[in-house]
């Protein structure tokens, strides 16, 4: 029996700074909110836009680098797998979420922390196209 394919590729902008935390075992994990959009003209010629928000989870060194170098508005390429999770909240209700667990994150554009904090361009110690 052959296995399936679970792959998501997204290019979008962050809606907030990446949030970094550590698991109980000390493993770094970052969560990012990524907006992707598409634009088209409707039948009347009016420009329409549809924005979709994605939850992206990043682990280990990649998580640390995303937290260090990315900020709200940064453009990124994300390659990962789709994961669905279920849990029970404090009130006993079932909760569900879908997220992208990133394998690769490539920093696009020049809006990153090294530029905004140092005043230097994207080459200030970081290659924005670097795969971590």
16 found inside a domain? yes
71 found inside a domain? yes
| Structure confidence at residue 1 (pLDDT) | 72
| Structure confidence at residue 43 (pLDDT) | 95
3 found inside a domain? no
Residues above pLDDT 70, as percent of the chain = 83
130 found inside a domain? no
Task: Give the number of domains in the chain.
Answer: 1
CA distance 62 to 28: 9
pLDDT band, very low/low/confident/very high, at 118 (cuts 50, 70, 90): very low
User: What are 74's two structure tokens?
Assistant: 């940064």
| Structure confidence at residue 123 (pLDDT) | 37
Higher pLDDT, 51 or 125: 51
128 found inside a domain? no
What SS3 class is residue 60? helix
Measured CA to CA in angstroms, residue 30 lies from 23, 64, 75, 96 at distances of 10, 7, 16, 19
What SS3 class is residue 116? helix
pLDDT band, very low/low/confident/very high, at 125 (cuts 50, 70, 90): very low
131 found inside a domain? no
**Measured at the alpha carbon of residue 102, what is the angle toward residues 74 and 93, in degrees to the nearest 5?**
100
**Residues 9-15, mean pLDDT to the nearest whole number:** 97
Dihedral sign from CA coordinates of 107, 79, 23, 30:
positive
Q: Could you say which DSSP state residue 18 is in?
A: P
48 found inside a domain? yes
| Structure confidence at residue 110 (pLDDT) | 62
Q: What is the CATH number of the domain that holds 52?
A: 2.40.50.140
124 found inside a domain? no
- Domain with 20 in it: 8-111
């Amino acid at each position: 029996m052959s296995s399936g394919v679970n792959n998501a590729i997204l290019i979008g902008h962050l809606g907030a700074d990446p949030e970094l935390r550590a698991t109980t075992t000390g493993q770094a994990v970052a969560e990012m909110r990524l907006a992707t959009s598409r634009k088209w003209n409707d039948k009347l010629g009016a420009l329409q836009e549809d924005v979709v928000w994605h939850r992206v989870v990043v682990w280990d060194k990649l998580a640390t680098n995303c937290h260090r170098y990315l900020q709200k508005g940064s453009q990124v390429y994300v390659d990962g797998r789709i994961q669905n999770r279920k849990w029970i909240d404090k009130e006993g209700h079932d909760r569900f979420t879908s997220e992208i667990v990133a394998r690769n994150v490539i920093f696009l554009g020049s809006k990153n922390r090294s530029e905004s904090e140092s005043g230097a361009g994207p080459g200030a110690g970081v290659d924005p196209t670097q795969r971590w």
